[in-house]
């Protein structure tokens, strides 16, 4: 499975020391990660990942409006309903990537 | 039999504007136009409860496709007006229909409720439908990032219109989402993430076998082209031209793909069969023409049949028409004069493409009250028109959207006063 090179450099898990590990680090070797992430951890991860989003693009949520990168970060930090949706979206995608990390082709 | 598709499309702010553009200009409406169904369109300001409910109750509405904001118990149209809300709609609006709502959250309560009330199948989203787009692009259709989301969602409408059963439509739509997010994983993982989200919250309820009949007979109108599609050798589509008068010269013209062989069969007052017909066009190409002169009075049934091959076609029934106005070119400014009250001038714009936005503007003299009447396919009169500009002023503007491929007739009429006017038709 080919993957967008930028995705490899996005944080994907929280290490036991509280810092983030990227997908590239996870694939390179053993990383000591926190066994379970709480809501604030997911929020931190989502913020760190959306910070790497292409600023020329925006997300549109039917019924809620359009959100640029900076607006998404505000929504997440303020714990709004739509901010929580964006966190959930990242959470699901992280789970998807981690479940399929063995199939990822980084060559 | 004439079966109807009802398409309701809201378009009043950034998000609905993008969705409307893809659905009405690219993926859904143009596809429906090719099919043998009658289309009931509620676009933009027409997507309101009053019109929606009355259209839903029309006989022979078999499929409803809607785009608008939604919540778990309701679906909205233009400016957020509620079109359906759990507990406050007539169950007959849903009964017997296949329904696709491109609308957030409706799969939670409204979708199951529609099926409980008798809808054959429902497609929609359990969470918010989310898409990505590129900032600063004026025409959404030029944004490949947004395009993929609407391509995936519109798969429902296209496959339902093809006659596939709901269960297969659901599986194929999920599969398309999956293909696309795997493809985007290599190019833009944010798009992949969002497609994955939409894939995961897409739902279908109801009868897996629910499908639309494909053996419908579509009504032809004189001098107006109708599109269709034959999907394989041996496939056929039926049409009827009603109320043909005696003693006329009537021509049926079929234009199909260059690499196929489509034939044309005509029978008066009965559906033709390959061995039972009154007239046929039977060359080795897919372009056929049958001229009947003089005609008998009655309804003329027409079958387009693929002897070999597949693809889109257009069919047109025409009778010679007396000149019904001066031919004018798009974008060209026309200057004319109306001499008195009730005077009128007629114009025709030939060969307008389908799916366009046609603007007709009239600039009349101060103190007068001139109106414009516009109709596709046949002359516009004060009693028979598609759209009219009918204010109490000398100036009028009308917009026809989307256009039907063919000729547009314009009548300029003096309701009061006289003088010189300027007229322009433009896309």
DSSP B10-66: --SSHHHHHHHHHIIIIISHHHHHHSSSEEEEEEGGG-SHHHHHHHHTSTTEEEEEE
Distance from CA of A40 to the nearest CA of B (A): 21
Mean pLDDT of B353-358: 85
> Which range has highest mean pLDDT (B272-286, B355-369, B376-390)?
B272-286
Sign, CA dihedral B131-B137-B140-B143, equals negative
Mean pLDDT of A59-72: 92
- Encode pLDDT of B144-196 as tens digits: 999 999 999 999 999 999 888 999 999 999 999 999 999 999 889 999 999 99
In angstroms, the CA B152 to CA B254 distance is 33
> How confident is residue B85, by pLDDT bands cut at 50, 70 and 90?
very high
Q: Which residues contact B329 (CB under 8 A, 6 or more apart)?
A: B349
- Taking CB atoms and an 8 Å limit, are A3 and B188 in contact across chains? no
pLDDT at site B2: 58
| CA dist B301 → B166, B245, B271, B272, B280 (Å) | 31, 14, 5, 7, 11
Q: Which residue of B has its CA nearest to A105?
A: B186
- Predicted local confidence at residue B253, as pLDDT: 95
Place of tokens 């507990």: B87
Q: Closest-CA residue in chain A for B127?
A: A85
Phi, psi of B354 (to 5 degrees): -75, 155
Of B203 and B314, the structure prediction assigns the larger pLDDT to B203
Which is more confident, B216 or B244? B244
Is the pLDDT confidence value at B321 over 80?
A: no
Q: When comparing pLDDT for B302 and B378, which is higher?
A: B302
Closest CA to B287 of B253, B255, B252: B255
Helix, coil or strand: residue A23: helix
| Mean pLDDT over the full length of chain B | 91
B5-14, B126-135, B166-175, B213-222: which range is least confident on average?
B213-222
Which tops the pLDDT comparison, B222 or B266?
A: B266
Q: Token digits for B33?
A: 């136009």
Between residues B327 and B279, which one has the greater pLDDT?
B279
Whether the pLDDT of residue B370 is over 50: the answer is: yes
Candidates B134, B129, B167, B168; CA nearest to B150 is B129
List CB contacts (< 8 A) between A84 and chain B. Answer: none
Q: How confident is the model at residue B40, as a pLDDT?
A: 87
- A89 and B105: CB-CB below 8 Å? no
Least confident piece of the model among A27-31, B85-89, B165-169, B241-245: A27-31
pLDDT of B1: 45
Q: What is the pLDDT, as a whole number, of residue B323?
A: 63
Share of chain B above pLDDT 90, in %: 65
- Does the beta carbon of A90 lie under 8 angstroms from any beta carbon of chain B? yes
pLDDT(B318) > 60: yes
Asked whether the predicted pLDDT for residue B43 surpasses 90, the reply is yes
Q: Tell me the mean pLDDT in the region B113-130.
A: 96
For residue B114, the surrounding DSSP H or E stretch is helix B110-116
What is the average pLDDT across B279-286? 94
Q: Is the pLDDT of residue A5 over 90?
A: no
Please tell me which of the candidates A10, A57, A60 has its beta carbon nearest to residue B130: A60
Tell me the pTM: 0.67
Would you put residue B223 in left (φ > 0), alpha (ψ -120 to 50) or beta? Answer: left
Task: Residue A93: list chain B partners with CB under 8 A.
Answer: 189, 192-193, 196-197
Q: Residues of chain B with pLDDT > 70: what percent?
A: 97
Task: Indicate whether A107 pLDDT > 70.
Answer: no
Mutation target to probe the A interface, by most A beta carbons within 10 A, among B10, B67, B124, B190 is B190
Q: What is the mean pLDDT of residues B206-234?
A: 81
To test the contact with chain B by mutation, choose from A60, A80, A81 the residue with the greatest count of B C-beta atoms within 10 A, namely A60
Taking the C-alpha atoms of residue B36 and residue B299, their distance in angstroms, rounded to an integer, is: 18
Mutate to test the interface with A, among B193, B194, B199, B200 (most CBs of A within 10 A): B193
CB-based contacts of B129: which residues, under 8 Å, 6+ apart? A61, A62, B102, B103, B104, B153, B198, B201
How does pLDDT run across A73-104, given as a tens digit for each residue? 999 999 999 999 999 999 999 999 999 988 88
B14, B127, B193: residue with CB nearest A93: B193
Do the beta carbons of residue B335 and residue B422 sit within 8 Å?
A: yes
């Amino acid at each position: 499975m080919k993957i967008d090179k930028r995705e490899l450099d996005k944080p994907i898990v929280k290490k036991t020391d509280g810092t983030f590990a990227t997908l590239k680090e996870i694939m390179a070797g053993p990383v000591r990660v926190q066994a379970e992430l709480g809501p604030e951890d997911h929020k931190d991860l989502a913020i760190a990942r959306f910070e790497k989003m292409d600023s020329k693009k925006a997300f549109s949520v039917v019924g809620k409006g359009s959100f640029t990168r900076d607006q998404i970060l505000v929504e997440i930090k303020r714990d709004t309903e739509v901010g929580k949706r964006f966190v959930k979206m990242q959470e699901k995608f992280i789970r998807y990537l981690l479940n399929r990390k063995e199939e990822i082709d980084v060559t | 039999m004439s079966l109807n598709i009802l398409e309701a499309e809201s378009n009043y702010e950034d998000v609905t504007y993008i969705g409307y553009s893809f659905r009405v200009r690219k993926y859904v409406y143009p596809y429906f136009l090719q099919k043998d169904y009658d289309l009931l369109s509620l676009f933009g300001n027409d997507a309101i409860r009053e019109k929606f409910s009355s259209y839903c109750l029309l006989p022979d509405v078999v499929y409803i496709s809607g785009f608008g904001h939604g919540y778990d118990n309701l679906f909205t149209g233009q400016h957020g007006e509620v079109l359906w809300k759990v507990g406050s709609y007539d169950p007959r609006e849903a009964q017997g229909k296949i329904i696709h709502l491109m609308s957030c959250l409706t799969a939670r309560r409204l979708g199951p409720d529609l099926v409980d009330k008798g809808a054959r199948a429902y497609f929609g989203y359990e969470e918010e439908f989310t898409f990505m787009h590129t900032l600063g692009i004026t025409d959404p259709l030029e944004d490949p990032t947004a395009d993929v989301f609407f391509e995936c969602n519109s798969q429902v409408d296209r496959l339902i219109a093809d006659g596939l059963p709901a269960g297969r439509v659901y599986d194929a739509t999920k599969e398309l989402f999956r293909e696309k997010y795997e493809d985007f994983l290599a190019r833009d993982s944010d798009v992949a993430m969002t497609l994955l989200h939409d894939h995961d919250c897409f739902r279908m309820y109801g009868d897996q076998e629910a499908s639309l009949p494909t053996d419908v007979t579509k009504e032809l109108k004189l001098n107006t082209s109708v599109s269709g599609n034959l999907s394989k050798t041996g496939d056929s589509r039926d049409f009827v031209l009603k109320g043909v008068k005696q003693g006329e010269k009537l021509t049926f013209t079929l234009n199909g793909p260059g690499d196929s062989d489509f034939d044309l069969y005509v029978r008066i007052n009965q559906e033709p069969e390959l061995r039972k017909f009154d007239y046929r066009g039977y060359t080795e190409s897919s372009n056929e023409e049958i001229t009947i002169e003089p005609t008998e009075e009655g309804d003329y049934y027409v079958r387009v049949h693929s002897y070999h091959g597949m693809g889109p076609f257009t069919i047109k029934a025409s009778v010679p028409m007396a000149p019904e106005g001066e031919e004018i070119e798009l974008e060209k400014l026309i200057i004319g004069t109306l001499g008195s009250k009730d005077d009128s001038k007629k114009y025709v714009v030939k060969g307008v493409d389908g799916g366009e936005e046609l603007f007709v503007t009239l600039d009349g003299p101060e103190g007068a009250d001139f109106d414009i009447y516009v109709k596709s396919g046949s002359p516009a009169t004060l009693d028979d028109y598609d759209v009219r500009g009918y204010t109490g002023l000398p100036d009028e503007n009308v917009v026809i959207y989307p256009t039907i491929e063919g000729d547009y007739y314009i009548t300029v009429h003096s309701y009061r006063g006289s003088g010189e006017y300027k007229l322009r038709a433009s896309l």
